[in-house]
Structure 1
């Protein structure tokens, strides 16, 4: 019994020591589709889900009537007896989990009815909150394809709903409106090595979807301009003469004011006697489809030749005096697309649409909604007063959303479980775009200087957590991960090697679903650096950086400096010693100095000279600067 007790105590001690080892390898998941080098394995697979949809938007009631065909290709090794789809707008229904948690808001939105069928036989549905399970008439074997017919009616939410919709309608006093239409059709739930992604959509954790091809026809009143995912395939049928001329121009920006968007008189009539038109779009291998429509939008369009390919840029915003959008929206979109094309290579979408709809900021393939607007002033009048923050909100909001074209639109991440992954990298990319726009840009995410105070807050939680599971999402999923990527690029790896590594990662996972563990393994394999301490501190913990000078002493010509780790995250640091004669000694210490003791590091200088009059500690993202300097007076007092 005594020997067993000793062994037990030793094992507990070893386990505690391992738990305290900030340099120990992380226990990362390794599903069949991933590899130890962070690239897709030979066993990688993903489902293919193609859509053909005919939809009608009715602006007066903010409803959509639609029918479609869904072609589901089972590329998994599993036989499927049912398929799962999600309608995220069902979170606004009275009986949803989200309504129970967040209240009823401005009223119900979501599905009014839905019906699935195959071979003229209705299929059984089971609703689980925002999800629907569709039972198949016959099992879908590996390699087989199922075709389903679907019809549905949907009520869109008001964009002013306090539950913060990711889509909806904005109405103006003159009777005009803007529709941001997303999450509007039954989207196939991601099916992976880990099974169906069935975590409910409550509010903040976003989406996990499949890749597919889309053919979408959208009918609506003729006075509405419509921008959408993919390529407009019938521009000559739906654009006015002025619009079509602008559409065809290459190499120069075109501005179309609302008075030039009056529909032609010879439009086909809808059932209620109003003129209508049908817009046709085609999109290839995208994870979603969204569109925006407005009947008094200012539209700026431009075609750029980037790397030998014509790239179309569209920005649209309301005509009731949105001065900052008129001046900066197209310019910042152009800046983002050009810079990202140089960084990663070919831009993922031939058409990039940026639409201003108040209060909604959300990304979709080839189209994004940006909620920041700026001052309400006539675009042809005198420059209005506006703050630096208002301007940079518009610029930064556009840059951030355009950067989402790569994460998660190209590298298809699971936003619901790993929201910090795409939002962190995109906030980092936006920081680069902002600083390249202007070195004095007021960047809200990515600057290491002020992040320590954020990480010290009681509400701050480790980034590796679902967005619905904590209150400080903007800090944990945007700002802190962005700072971490900035530090990794500019101070730990170096811009040249970092940029090449991230570019190669995007190349390997283009059009595929990557996990955060994949990028960790890839950076280790490509850079040759052991970065487990970095990921553990910045992503898997709620710690912060606070290194403190604890003591400076001298003994037999050796100067000893003791540095305490008070915040929990180990970091490389620099020491600067200043002596009475004005001479200085500096030393940079790698992060490895913390390997023997995570809590305290000892640095020795072989000096025969006197004690320094000042010792200074310099470290990135330090939360408490008051403990970074010790003077001769400090030592005498202590």
Structure 2
């Protein structure tokens, strides 16, 4: 560190100087108006819905039968579509998402893997390439499976056939009369759908086979659903290829599901006919659950096991109704145990419920319903009160998928090899709690805050992952969260295999990192480091409240957060959401200054001390003791030989008197304070501007944090120099000491530089004996045998 004595004017000291600006100025703080749509009467500049905001409505009356032998659903029903738009519509678009399993689907035809290596595995003999069993099985089963929604008929309210055209995963219905603004139309549908095997072909829907001959059916996208029509997009009729999820309209559902008589059905909505499908004992338990403080088992394990063995050939019809939902899903199985517990959400009574097979215990009976309740309690804090009468978690082999009031969640114990008892590892436990929080949390985003998932995955997955992180933090201390902390995203943000978050759902790379982890992390950084919790929480809650039961776009979110927080965040949205830049701030240099008192007695003593602190030159060292002329001839010495450059003269004293004569008393006092001033050079190597969070440690061991807003980069986005003033010398300085900004290289964050601890691996290289070519590396960490055994056991 350079140490200098400052003689310059005091005004210049307190400016944070911008270092050499780049020849072409890159304005990281330019406004987003060039990218965002122009505000209008539908969507305002503040981010709120405009006074002419509108959205369509679709109400359904559906009847369906589950054929367990054929593993299919046959359905029929009436859709009533209300045109609340200012536009006249001559046709309607309907989603047939399960057509992704048809042979002519885009999804089937474009199916690829990222590289040849993804298909290949190396045999133990180091020889031929091969295809993994599960990869080949899935590919063959997809080709064999007769998938898709088979449309039997489309008729008008008068029973006459309506002209319709199926285009892969979309169907257009041509209306006999144009649908005017404010008008509604009803049409009838009949269809069948084969249910895929979830573990092999299924995606978000399917059946799971058990060794006892029974199945669990998870039914989603099982009926033709109205596509969305809205002001920004018009018809959202982009083909469904698997990743861009669902964009739907709100409506009321009246659904009757006919299933084997010994099945238990979990569903969107409220059960309308418990007398017809439940025993008297089960109905009594359900009533008890409405006031219960802990889960009440509605269908017991003993009852489920009896049903598993009985396999009734009769049927029962379960009747459900749901209001103001955008979709409808259900699960059905004779294997289900069912428990329920009441929770208050605002002034609403909600039943939190779980459905699971005996194979899910003891994990599910302990954690599932508790996790559902915890989710509602936590999400209510940051958004709005959960408005629906039920919230359901169902155990099935589908990893995690969400629908209004119901979610499908994987995760079960495994049998201990020695005792045969069901047990679970730590990862299974917390994985289950996390997936339930996440999927139940989707009721808020996007089931109520109804963003366009087909277009912007991050608007539901990223926001929900952020709230999931907050809920996990509230579950227990040191919860093993995967997403949310800034430090967990740095590997992704330093990689080159990225696309901006603002990329269409079907074009994202590394979907989990791009659409879940990065936006969740961005929101956490915004909350903790940039806005602070109070401003952020108010603004986020305002966004949720403004757009519940409506369809927001990214612009509505960005604008609302700025409007409600009173903070210009365009630089933040641009960097985190529109680019692949990363945070990488380097501490490049530091210079120390102390203020000159102008008093020659003090200043020349300071200069003498500095001179004496300098190392003696090698020449002076070697010349020490050599004969000198002035020593041999003392008459050559005069005044300057008796006094050095640091001797105070009357001239110096008179100059000091003249200098301080015109100063105010406060200026004289400032000269005597003895402050230490440091100019610290920071460079932005990652491209993403960020607040500076600087920890300063001084000579006495005292540590302080200086938080400098990101606007410090506004004049020079590549390099800045910041002034720090302390009472005593600085001994160390660290940028981002808590790893809160997602800085991808902490090695350059400190002065003086700190060594980074790591582990050395020894490895040897094998060569092909025939050709002499390098084959592969066998790397062996420097670990003791005991460490290896412990790691192997933990991995199992």
Normalised TM-score (structure 1):
0.90
Q: 2:445 aligns with which of 392, 407, 410?
A: 407
The answer to whether the 8 A contact 2:260-2:312 is kept is no
Please give the residue correspondences for 1:597-608 in structure 2 after superposition, counting only pairs within 5 Å. Answer: 597-605=716-724
- CA shift, 1:583, in A, is 5.9
Q: Which residue of 2 aligns with 1:11?
A: none
Q: Which residue of 2 aligns with 1:257?
A: 300
Q: Which residue of 2 aligns with 1:460?
A: 498
- CA shift, 1:50, in A, is 0.6
Residues 104 and 206 of structure 1, relative CA distance in 2, 3 Å threshold: farther
Distance 2:285 2:382 in 1: 29
Q: Which residue of 1 aligns with 2:572?
A: 534
Q: Determine whether 1:371 maps to 2:410.
A: yes
Unaligned runs of at least 5 residues, structure 2: 1-22, 112-138, 596-676, 756-796
The answer to whether the 8 A contact 2:100-2:241 is kept is yes
SS in structure 1 at match of 2:32: coil
RMSD, matched Cα: 2.5
Q: 2:733 aligns with which of 615, 621, 638?
A: 615
Distance 2:60 2:25 in 1: 51
Q: 2:62 aligns with which of 53, 63, 76?
A: 53
Unaligned runs of at least 5 residues, structure 1: 1-15, 265-271
Which has the higher mean CA deviation after the structures are superposed, 91-100 or 467-476? 467-476
Q: Determine whether 1:224 maps to 2:263.
A: yes
Q: Determine whether 1:357 maps to 2:416.
A: no
SS in structure 1 at match of 2:322: strand
Distance 1:305 1:633 in 2: 52
The answer to whether the 8 A contact 2:384-2:545 is kept is no
Distance 1:28 1:376 in 2: 54
SS in structure 2 at match of 1:320: helix
The answer to whether the 8 A contact 1:23-1:595 is kept is no
SS in structure 1 at match of 2:110: helix
Query: What is the CA deviation profile of residues 468-505 of structure 1, one whole-angstrom value per residue up to 9, with x for unaligned ones?
Result: 21230000111111111112222222223322222222
Q: Determine whether 1:141 maps to 2:260.
A: no
- CA shift, 1:585, in A, is 6.3
Distance 1:22 1:85 in 2: 42
Q: How many residues align?
A: 609
- CA shift, 1:120, in A, is 1.9
- CA shift, 1:539, in A, is 1.3
Residues 140 and 396 of structure 1, relative CA distance in 2, 3 Å threshold: same
Q: Which residue of 2 aligns with 1:72?
A: 81
Residues 143 and 17 of structure 1, relative CA distance in 2, 3 Å threshold: farther
The answer to whether the 8 A contact 2:361-2:422 is kept is no
Please give the residue correspondences for 1:107-186 in structure 2 after superposition, counting only pairs within 5 Å. Answer: 107-118=145-156, 119-161=158-200, 165-186=203-224
Distance 2:323 2:416 in 1: 39
The answer to whether the 8 A contact 1:240-1:261 is kept is no
Distance 1:545 1:321 in 2: 43
Q: Which residue of 1 aligns with 2:28?
A: 21
Residues 586 and 314 of structure 1, relative CA distance in 2, 3 Å threshold: closer
Normalised TM-score (structure 2):
0.73
Largest Rg, 1 or 2: 2
- CA shift, 1:258, in A, is 4.0
Distance 1:154 1:61 in 2: 10
Q: Which residue of 2 aligns with 1:196?
A: 235
Q: Determine whether 1:489 maps to 2:527.
A: yes
Residues 487 and 583 of structure 1, relative CA distance in 2, 3 Å threshold: closer
The answer to whether the 8 A contact 2:466-2:521 is kept is yes
Residues 584 and 273 of structure 1, relative CA distance in 2, 3 Å threshold: closer
Q: Which residue of 2 aligns with 1:395?
A: 433
Residues 297 and 95 of structure 1, relative CA distance in 2, 3 Å threshold: same
Q: Which residue of 2 aligns with 1:574?
A: 693
Distance 2:556 2:360 in 1: 46
- CA shift, 1:345, in A, is 4.1
Q: Which residue of 1 aligns with 2:750?
A: 629
The answer to whether the 8 A contact 1:551-1:561 is kept is yes
Distance 1:392 1:110 in 2: 35
- CA shift, 1:243, in A, is 1.9
Q: 1:233 aligns with which of 272, 296, 306?
A: 272
Q: Which residue of 2 aligns with 1:506?
A: 544
Q: Determine whether 1:211 maps to 2:330.
A: no
Residues 474 and 374 of structure 1, relative CA distance in 2, 3 Å threshold: farther
- CA shift, 1:320, in A, is 2.7
- CA shift, 1:633, in A, is 10
Distance 2:226 2:200 in 1: 26
The answer to whether the 8 A contact 1:189-1:196 is kept is yes
Which has the higher mean CA deviation after the structures are superposed, 31-40 or 104-113? 104-113
Residues 165 and 31 of structure 1, relative CA distance in 2, 3 Å threshold: farther
